[in-house]
């Protein structure tokens, strides 16, 4: 490939993203602008923005690579990543928006009336955010190396720099339009080359995928422990979506609960359209790029296919378009993660500072810098695998907290904290072992490789049992909080007060029986 084409594509996307981000300086003035875009984003734009930030390195590169290697079993990745929004739609989206919170930590304190629950939630948010940022930076390095032959670290640093500029410029309001644009760019970047490659495949007589007759590639759940591994993966992806901080933060930007549900329906449609494409690239990779499996470069199959199938400047143009889409994926997801994690860090770890916007910017710089440092440790883990582990941690922590907090008034702060610590601790241990390359013998191997099937029930049971044992510590204002979460906004009822921007909050006692108010 001509390096100039790939470099032009990457720089064009980066500069366009920077332009939109810098424009955010002109429209972002308040704390609410930085955290939740002043809760004024409509369903169409918000659905596109969610699609933009949710379709990450794992979606653009990793899913096709896994289908190339594992065949039918890997199809559960895009199915789970899409179906997770159905669970979010039915159980979580509208109540989360009605809570009036900025972050998952805000929700924990609102529902449980506990500073300790808030602090533990903040630690978990930071953990999930960093785990999810790692594969974004890693995928950027793979892309730039494939396009122009640059060292892997250069792509990671480039994405980190662009993300910092747009996040520091305008926060959530700034990245909303950027992410909406990037969804459609990613979709176009996959559709056009796929159409050309499929047309070429058809003209060449429809060659069969290499070794397609192998049963463990075309039939799901073949091999030892395969059934457990697949179902554990399904649980992680189905239930982990609601616990991802950058996904949940998007629902706080909706105008009201009804808009949150409409946004979720839009996201389901956009994701369903997008995830048809990695399957096409995975199967075409089996035909034309089978050698990538032996080379250990399966994550690069999407970028390698045009030059494997075609020749000349046309192939370079298609590769450049794919590179632009890949960088859009890394930038949009990384921006959303940086905003959501920086919001939590600035509130709960830098809250002594009087300037909340300055604290937000400092927190964003700290989060991005820490992720770059940790990238060296996780560089050997496939992109989609790293994202999958972040889903497992989210499903084992915030999924039980949100489901019980929204739908069961008996949840107490000690129960929630115990579930977050035990579920999150056990799942994180398994994640660290996977990132370090540890392979346990016997049945312990799959249990550590895919921990969600046992860590999610463990966290849920611990929350319920400890809450029942500490029923006397049920939040005194829980009934009014439930009214806030479940009553449509247009009904005239007493919802208590929850004003995230009040400067006289963070007192020792609740201002209202239901909730605390927070200083930003």
| 369 or 514, greater pLDDT | 369
CB 49 within 8 A of CB 40: no
Q: Which residues pair with 254 in a beta bridge?
A: 41
pLDDT at 518 exceeding the cut of 50: no
CATH of 3-232+254-380 among 3.90.420.10, 1.20.1730.10, 3.40.50.450, 1.10.1060.10: 1.20.1730.10
| 45 or 390, greater pLDDT | 390
Question: In this predicted structure, what is the pLDDT of residue 453?
Answer: 95
Q: In sequence order, what are the residues at sequence separation of 6 or more whose Cβ sits closer than 8 angstroms to the Cβ of residue 55? A: 183, 186, 271, 274, 329, 332, 333
| 6 or 442, greater pLDDT | 442
pLDDT at 30 exceeding the cut of 60: no
Question: In this predicted structure, what is the pLDDT of residue 257?
Answer: 62
With H, G, I as helix, E, B as strand and everything else as coil, classify residue 341: helix
Q: In sequence order, what are the residues at sequence separation of 6 or more whose Cβ sits closer than 8 angstroms to the Cβ of residue 238? A: 80, 83, 84, 87, 395
CB 178 within 8 A of CB 13: no
**What value does the mean pLDDT take over residues 369-389?**
74
Distance, CA of 112 to CA of 169 (rounded, Å): 34
Mean pLDDT (the chain, rounded)? 80
CB 62 within 8 A of CB 139: yes
Locate 434 and state its tokens: 């996977």
Q: What is the DSSP letter of 517?
A: -
**What number of residues does the chain have?**
520
> In the chain, what are the domain boundaries?
3-232+254-380
CB 76 within 8 A of CB 232: no
Q: In sequence order, what are the residues at sequence separation of 6 or more whose Cβ sits closer than 8 angstroms to the Cβ of residue 388? A: 58, 77, 233, 236, 237
Out of 12-21, 273-282, 383-392, 438-447, pick the least confident. Answer: 12-21
Question: In this predicted structure, what is the pLDDT of residue 85?
Answer: 82
Question: In this predicted structure, what is the pLDDT of residue 214?
Answer: 63
Question: In this predicted structure, what is the pLDDT of residue 511?
Answer: 34
pLDDT in tens, 124-175: 998 898 888 888 888 888 888 877 777 888 888 888 888 787 777 655 666 6
Out of 23-32, 318-327, 408-417, pick the least confident. Answer: 23-32
Structure-token match 């998952």, residue found: 104
pLDDT in tens, 458-506: 999 999 999 999 999 999 999 989 988 888 766 655 555 555 444 333 3
First-to-final CA distance of the chain: 50
pTM assigned to the model: 0.80
Distance, CA of 362 to CA of 107 (rounded, Å): 23
The answer for 209, left when phi > 0, alpha when psi is -120 to 50, beta otherwise, is: beta
Out of 34-48, 154-168, 409-423, pick the least confident. Answer: 34-48
* In 92-211, alpha helices (H): 93-99, 104-112, 115-148, 152-203
pLDDT in tens, 67-112: 988 888 888 888 888 888 888 878 887 788 788 777 788 889 999 9
pLDDT in tens, 381-406: 666 677 888 899 999 999 999 999 99
Distance, CA of 78 to CA of 185 (rounded, Å): 19
pLDDT at 24 exceeding the cut of 60: no
* In 289-412, alpha helices (H): 291-295, 301-309, 313-348, 356-374, 383-395, 398-407
Q: Helices 276-288 and 301-309 meet at what angle, rounded to 10?
A: 50
With bands split at pLDDT 50, 70 and 90, how would you rate the model's confidence at 21? Answer: low
What counts of helices (H) and strands (E) characterise the chain?
Answer: 25, 0
Smallest CA-to-CA distance from 479 within 507, 506, 513, 454 is with 513
Q: Which residues pair with 41 in a beta bridge?
A: 254
Smallest CA-to-CA distance from 131 within 417, 400, 395 is with 395
Question: In this predicted structure, what is the pLDDT of residue 501?
Answer: 47
Identity of the highest mean pLDDT range in 225-234, 339-348, 370-379: 225-234
Q: Which residues pair with 453 in a beta bridge?
A: none
């Amino acid at each position: 490939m001509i390096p100039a084409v790939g470099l032009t594509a990457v720089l064009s996307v980066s500069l366009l993203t920077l332009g939109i981000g810098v424009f955010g300086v002109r429209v972002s003035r308040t704390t609410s602008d930085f955290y939740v875009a002043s809760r004024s984003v409509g369903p169409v734009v918000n659905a596109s923005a969610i699609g933009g930030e949710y379709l990450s390195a794992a979606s653009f590169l990793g899913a096709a690579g896994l289908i190339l290697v594992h065949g039918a079993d890997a199809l559960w990745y895009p199915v789970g990543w899409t179906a997770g929004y159905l669970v979010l739609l039915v159980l979580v989206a509208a109540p989360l928006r009605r809570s009036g919170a900025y972050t998952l930590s805000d929700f924990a304190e609102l529902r449980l009336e506990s500073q300790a629950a808030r602090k533990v939630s903040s630690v978990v948010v930071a953990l999930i955010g960093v785990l999810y940022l790692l594969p974004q930076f890693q995928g950027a390095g793979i892309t730039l190396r494939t396009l122009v032959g640059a060292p892997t670290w250069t792509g990671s640093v480039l994405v980190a720099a662009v993300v910092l500029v747009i996040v520091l410029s305008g926060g959530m309001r700034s990245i909303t339009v950027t992410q909406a644009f990037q969804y459609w760019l990613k979709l176009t970047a996959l559709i056009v080359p796929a159409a050309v490659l499929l047309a070429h495949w058809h003209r060449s007589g429809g060659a069969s995928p290499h070794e397609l007759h192998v049963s463990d590639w075309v039939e799901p759940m073949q091999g030892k422990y395969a059934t457990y591994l697949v179902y554990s993966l399904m649980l992680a992806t189905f239930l982990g979506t609601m616990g991802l901080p950058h996904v949940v933060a998007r629902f706080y930007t909706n105008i009201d609960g009804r808009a949150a549900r409409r946004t979720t329906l839009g996201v389901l449609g956009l994701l369903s359209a997008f995830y048809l494409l990695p399957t096409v690239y995975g199967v075409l990779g089996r035909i034309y790029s089978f050698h990538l499996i032996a080379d250990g470069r399966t994550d690069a199959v999407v970028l390698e296919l045009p030059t494997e199938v075609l020749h000349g400047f046309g192939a370079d143009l298609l590769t450049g378009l794919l590179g632009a889409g890949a960088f859009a994926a890394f930038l949009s997801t990384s921006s959303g993660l940086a905003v959501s994690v920086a919001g939590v860090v600035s509130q709960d770890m830098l809250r002594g500072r009087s300037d909340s916007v300055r604290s937000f910017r400092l927190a964003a710089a700290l989060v991005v810098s820490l992720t770059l440092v940790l990238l060296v440790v996780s560089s050997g883990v496939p992109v989609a695998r790293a994202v999958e582990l972040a889903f497992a941690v989210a499903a084992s922590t915030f999924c039980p907290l949100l489901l019980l907090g929204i739908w069961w008034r008996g949840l107490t702060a000690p129960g929630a904290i115990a579930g977050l610590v035990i579920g999150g601790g056990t799942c994180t241990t398994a994640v660290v072992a996977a990132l370090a390359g540890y392979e346990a013998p016997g049945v312990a191997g799959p249990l550590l490789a895919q921990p969600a099937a046992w860590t999610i029930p463990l966290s849920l049971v611990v929350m319920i049992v400890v809450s029942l044992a500490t029923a006397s510590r049920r939040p005194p204002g829980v009934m009014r909080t439930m009214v806030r979460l479940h009553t449509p906004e247009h009904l005239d009822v007493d919802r208590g007060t929850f004003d995230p921007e009040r400067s006289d909050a963070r007192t020792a006692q609740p201002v209202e029986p239901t909730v605390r108010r927070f200083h930003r």
